[in-house]
A = this chain, B = another copy of it.
Amino acid sequence: MNNNSFGIHSLQIIEFPLHETAGSFLVVYEGNNKVPFNIKRIFVVKSNEKNKRGFHAHKECSQLLVSLNGECLITCDDGKERKEFILNKTNEGILIPPTIWAEQDYSSNSTLLVLTDRMYDENDYIRDYNEFLNFRGNL
């Protein structure tokens, strides 16, 4: 599959196994073959209040997003169609492939875990929506 194949309908929620014990549960992300790339970068976004982030696409980078607390509405856009996903379970994530525009709408007191297959590179970001449409059109 090359980047040209990444349309909005190829995106889906990935379910992770949940191991319950008394009073707590454990979810394994990397290390159980559910994440289809080697992880190069891990970060967490904590939002005290409702707010929006994202509003960019990546040229090459793939990202797996998991809501660890609260809720995050993810809007994905392939330049032709938009699709929304609600993340609010620790054992569910969404894999956002490169060339997909994404927006995140965080609830208050939310925590989002992000795993990526590339190191940070500002040149990999497309932060202007018209530039994104041009980029998709030229794929």
A contacts, CB < 8 Å to B: 21-31, 39-51, 53, 68-69, 90, 106, 111, 113, 115-116, 119-120
Contact = CB atoms under 8 A, between A and B. Distances in A.
Oligomer copy total: 2
Contact of A23 (B23, B48, B115): B48
A50 B23 contact: yes
Contacts of A25: 45-46
B24 A43 contact: no
Contact of A39 (B26, B27, B39, B113): B39
Name the 7 nearest CB pairs between A and B, nearest first. Answer: A31-B41, A23-B51, A24-B47, A30-B42, A28-B43, A23-B49, A29-B42
A46 B68 contact: yes
Nearest to A69: B69
A44 B23 contact: no
